[in-house]
């Protein structure tokens, strides 16, 4: 009897799923798998199921099967009619905005975005996946948009008459479940390699690669620039937002810091370094307040919001960008779900700085529960059914896997230690993580 062993699994139904019952079947199957995985619109997922007895079979594979192949991203050109309609809509726009989604980063279109936005004076707002498309301090970057959006972005989005949505799925967090945009004459241009997303929200589709599409729109709109009134609204909104953000992250005399305050010491130096933060904990705060510098300096899994992704995700970032310092922010709950990649990071010599925010339970879900009128139940450890509350020593736990670990009592000290340890890493390759003082107990 054949036992099936999936090679690449995914929680989404696979774009291709193949069952390998003969060794030679892997030749076309792997090629097809790579084609789907590198397709800018499909991006996988792929499942190849190998029968266990087939795995033990010898086979004389042709050498051509092992030849190196270089992937060149496909840059889909826009259709002439879709393009003409999009350019005409923009030319008529009085209150345009751009929403930058993850597609801007995947397409490496950040320079094209900057050129386009600057030339035409269009304010830009970012989704979770699109965060860092523009540096946080760029004058046209209004910050996060939607449910976890800044006041600057959301005030513009309410009035916008044309939304150029670039490489975004326009999901419910971005659009406030269709409640955010309120202009009755609103037009959404969906610049996307994926036709399904390009058509969303009754959008005018512009199926194309983000970089190609932005460059072509720029060339088609010479001299067109938004009116002063709209630019001024953007400028004032951003100033007000920065004041509010500074206030939210400033230290106070409160006994325990908020999530917003916790993230501040790590995100401050981002201008010079490329740091990455893949947390589930405090994701709303980070979407709003993390000061992303260079493109790709912020990474958060929000497709499925999967707890346990953080340390494994951070390790992936580090393997892809070995020259960068990677800071992982993780909650105690998420840490409990998946921490074993600490051992992998040590085996691989891939240094991570892991900041563990310990509030003894599922703090953000507890807050949601309270905000909808509930009573504390089953989220914080103290509210669970228990005989004894576990006093988990996370620092000792990580140390047991080989990490250099510290429990620190304040965010400022944690930030200082992270800075100090960057130097040490250069010399000794240390790994560090911190347990911040509890702030809910
Ligand atoms: C695998 C998985 N299970 C459940 C959830 C729902 N969920 C989102 S955040 C959260 C609690 C996170 O707790 P913790 O990591 O300690 O962060 P905190 O909110 O306390 O800062 C839960 C249960 C999820 N996102 N993923
Ligand atoms: Mg927690």
> Poorest-confidence range of 14-23, 319-328, 407-416?
407-416
Q: How many Cβ atoms from other residues are within 10 Å of residue 392's Cβ?
A: 15
Q: Which ligand is nearest to the CA of 280?
A: 1
Residue length, the chain? 441
> Poorest-confidence range of 146-155, 202-211, 388-397, 428-437?
428-437
Task: Looking at the structure, tell me whether residues 32 and 53 fall in a common domain.
Answer: yes
Task: Looking at the structure, tell me whether residues 117 and 227 fall in a common domain.
Answer: yes
Give residue 124's pLDDT: 98
State the residue range of the domain holding 395. 250-430
Task: Looking at the structure, tell me whether residues 41 and 144 fall in a common domain.
Answer: no
Task: Looking at the structure, tell me whether residues 50 and 100 fall in a common domain.
Answer: no
- Would residue 191 count as lying in a domain? yes
For residues 264 and 242, give the distance between their C-alpha atoms in angstroms, rounded to a whole number.
13
Q: Classify strands 124-126 and 96-100 as parallel, antiparallel or unpaired.
A: parallel
For residues 91 and 196, give the distance between their C-alpha atoms in angstroms, rounded to a whole number.
25
Q: Is the pLDDT of residue 431 over 70?
A: no
Nearest to 182 by CA among 89, 97, 82, 91: 97
From 20, 43, 66, the end of a domain falls on: 66
Tell me the mean pLDDT in the region 236-264: 87
Tell me the mean pLDDT in the region 96-116: 97
- Would residue 441 count as lying in a domain? no
What is the 334 CA–ligand 1 centroid distance (Å)? 6
Q: Is the pLDDT of residue 49 over 90?
A: yes
What is the 389 CA–ligand 1 centroid distance (Å)? 19
As for how many domains the chain has, the answer is 3
Give 299 or 419, the one with higher predicted confidence.
299
Q: Classify strands 124-126 and 141-144 as parallel, antiparallel or unpaired.
A: parallel
- Would residue 438 count as lying in a domain? no
Nearest to 293 by CA among 99, 115, 131, 121: 131
Give 120 or 390, the one with higher predicted confidence.
120
Task: Looking at the structure, tell me whether residues 295 and 399 fall in a common domain.
Answer: yes
- Would residue 198 count as lying in a domain? yes
- Would residue 75 count as lying in a domain? no
Task: Looking at the structure, tell me whether residues 410 and 294 fall in a common domain.
Answer: yes
Task: Specify the pTM.
Answer: 0.87
Q: Is the pLDDT of residue 430 over 50?
A: no
- Would residue 73 count as lying in a domain? no
Task: Looking at the structure, tell me whether residues 209 and 351 fall in a common domain.
Answer: no
Residue whose pair of structure tokens reads 């509210």 in the numeric block: 383
Considering just the CA atoms, what is the radius of gyration of the chain in Å?
24
From 240, 263, 283, the end of a domain falls on: 240
Task: Looking at the structure, tell me whether residues 323 and 420 fall in a common domain.
Answer: yes
Q: Is the pLDDT of residue 379 over 50?
A: yes
Task: Looking at the structure, tell me whether residues 138 and 265 fall in a common domain.
Answer: no
Give residue 267's pLDDT: 64
Give residue 73's pLDDT: 86
For residues 163 and 94, give the distance between their C-alpha atoms in angstroms, rounded to a whole number.
11
Q: The domain that contains 287 carries what CATH number?
A: 3.40.50.970
Pocket perturbation via mutation, ligand 1, pick of 333, 367, 371, 378 by most ligand atoms within 8 A of CB: 333
Q: The domain that contains 156 carries what CATH number?
A: 3.40.50.1220
Task: Looking at the structure, tell me whether residues 121 and 41 fall in a common domain.
Answer: no
From 194, 220, 240, the end of a domain falls on: 240
Residues within 5 Å of ion ligand 2, judged at the Cβ atom? 331-333, 359, 363
What is the 42 CA–ligand 1 centroid distance (Å)? 28
- Would residue 72 count as lying in a domain? no
Cβ of 365 closer than 6 Å to ligand 1, yes or no, is: yes
Tell me the mean pLDDT in the region 263-274: 53
Q: How far are the Cα atoms of 77, 80, 99, 208 from residue 216, in angstroms, in the given order?
A: 9, 11, 17, 10
- Would residue 32 count as lying in a domain? yes
Give residue 275's pLDDT: 45
Average pLDDT of the residues of the chain? 86
């Amino acid at each position: 009897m054949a036992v099936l062993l999936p090679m690449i699994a995914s929680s989404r139904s696979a774009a291709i799923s193949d069952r390998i019952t003969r060794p030679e079947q892997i030749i076309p199957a792997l090629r097809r798998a790579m084609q789907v995985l590198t397709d800018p619109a499909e991006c996988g997922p792929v499942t190849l199921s190998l029968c266990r007895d087939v795995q033990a079979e010898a086979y004389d594979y042709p050498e051509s099967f092992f030849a190196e192949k270089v992937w060149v991203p496909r840059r889909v050109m826009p259709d002439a009619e879709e393009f003409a309609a999009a350019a005409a809509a923009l030319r008529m726009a009085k209150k345009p905005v751009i929403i930058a989604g993850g597609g801007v980063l995947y397409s490496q279109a950040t320079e094209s975005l900057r050129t386009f936005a600057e030339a035409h004076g269009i304010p830009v707002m970012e989704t979770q996946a699109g965060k860092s498309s523009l540096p946080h301090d760029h004058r046209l970057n209004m910050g996060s948009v939607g449910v976890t959006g800044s006041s600057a972005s959301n005030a513009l989005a309410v009035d916008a008459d044309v939304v150029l949505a670039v490489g975004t799925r326009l999901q419910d967090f971005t659009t406030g479940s269709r409640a955010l945009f309120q202009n009755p004459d609103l037009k959404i241009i969906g610049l996307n390699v994926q036709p399904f997303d390009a058509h969303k929200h009754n959008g005018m589709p512009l199926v194309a690669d983000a970089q190609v599409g932005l460059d072509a729109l720029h060339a088609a709109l010479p001299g067109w620039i938004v009116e002063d009134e709209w630019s001024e609204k953007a400028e004032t909104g951003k100033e007000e937002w920065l004041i509010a953000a500074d206030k939210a992250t400033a230290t106070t005399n409160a006994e325990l810091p908020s999530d917003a305050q916790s993230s501040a010491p790590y995100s401050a130096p981002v201008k010079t370094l490329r740091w990455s933060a893949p947390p589930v904990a405090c994701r709303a705060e980070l979407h709003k307040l993390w000061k992303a510098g260079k493109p790709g300096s912020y990474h958060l899994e929000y497709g499925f919001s999967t707890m346990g992704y953080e340390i494994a995700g951070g390790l992936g970032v580090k393997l892809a960008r070995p020259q960068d310092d990677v800071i992982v922010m993780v909650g105690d709950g998420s840490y409990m779900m998946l921490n074993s990649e600490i051992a992998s990071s040590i085996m691989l010599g891939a240094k991570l700085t892991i900041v563990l925010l310990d509030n003894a339970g599922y703090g953000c879900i507890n807050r949601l529960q309270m905000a909808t009128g509930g009573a504390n139940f089953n989220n914080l450890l103290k509210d669970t059914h228990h005989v004894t509350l576990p006093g988990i020593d996370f620092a000792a736990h990580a140390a047991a896997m080989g990490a250099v670990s510290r429990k620190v009592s304040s965010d400022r000290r944690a930030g200082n230690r992270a800075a100090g340890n960057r130097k040490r890493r250069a010399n000794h390759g240390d790994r560090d993580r911190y347990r911040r003082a509890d702030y809910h107990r």
